[in-house]
Every structure is written in C-alpha cells, then in structure tokens.
C-alpha cells in the first residue's frame, strides 16, 4: 500500500478533513493533499506523525512477496553440492532467520 492511500484511509477512518488532520499534526493542508495525491513520498517519520494525528498507529510487518518468475530452483545445484552436515547447518540458519523475522 502506498503512503497516499494509507494516509487517506487513516484520515477517513478518523472522520477528518485534510485541513483538520493538518491542524492536528501541525502542518499545512497542502502537505496532506500532496501525500494523498501521490505527488510526494513522505518520510516514514512524517507518515507516522500524520497517522498518529488521526488517532491511529502505523505497524509494519514483513510478509513474503509473491514472485512470478522464481529463482529458487536456481539454487538446487548449490544445495546438492553440500554435504549432509552443511545442509543441516543451512536448514538451522533458515530456521533462525524465520524465527527472528516472526519477532519483528
């Protein structure tokens, strides 16, 4: 989701006009309008501040991207060259990565 749609949705959920949201965030209405129209890409800190002014919180999550032309099969020859011990180590590293990603 892009910043403009996120901000517009937050503002609509709060029932605020662009002018009222801007006043609450101590910024100009034109800033809100330019972001919502996609004319500018705000810094994350700006977006978080504007969404907070609407009474909401921005939360992020890492999710797998859907890849149409996958490259995962390209890794098979490398994996097949690994010893059984190296394959176990690779699996353990992947498991640690997935566990760490879930905590974020």
Residue 61 covered by a domain: no
Q: How far is CA 66 from CA 17, 70, 102, in A?
A: 36, 9, 18
Is residue 48 located within the same domain as residue 7?
A: yes
User: Which residue did the predictor score with more confidence, 30 or 69?
Assistant: 30
Q: Within 10 A of 32 (CB to CB), how many other CB atoms are there?
A: 26
Residue 63 belongs to some domain of the structure: no
Mean pLDDT of the chain: 90
Residue 60 lies in a domain: no
Residue indicated by tokens 């910024």: 27
The predicted pLDDT at position 69 comes to 67
- Lowest model confidence (mean pLDDT) among 28-32, 53-57, 70-74, 85-89: 70-74
Which pLDDT does position 36 carry in this prediction?
Answer: 97
Tell me, rounded to whole angstroms, the distance of Cα 51 from its chain centroid. Answer: 14
Is 58 domain-assigned?
Answer: no
Structural domain of residue 77, as residue ranges? 72-103
CATH number at residue 16: 1.10.260.40
Neighbours of 11 (CB within 10 A): 22
**Domain count of the fold of the chain:** 2
Q: What percent of the chain has pLDDT over 90?
A: 62
Q: Is the pTM of this model over 0.85?
A: no
């Amino acid at each position: 989701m892009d910043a403009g749609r996120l901000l517009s949705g937050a503002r609509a959920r709060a029932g605020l006009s662009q002018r009222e949201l801007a006043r609450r965030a101590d910024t100009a209405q034109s800033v809100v309008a330019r972001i919502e129209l996609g004319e500018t890409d705000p810094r994350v800190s700006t977006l978080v501040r504007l969404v907070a002014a609407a009474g909401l919180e921005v939360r992020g999550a890492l999710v797998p991207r859907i890849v149409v032309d996958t490259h995962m099969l390209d890794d098979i020859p490398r994996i097949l060259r690994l010893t059984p011990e190296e394959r176990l180590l690779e699996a353990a590293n992947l498991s640690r990565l997935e566990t760490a990603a879930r905590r974020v």
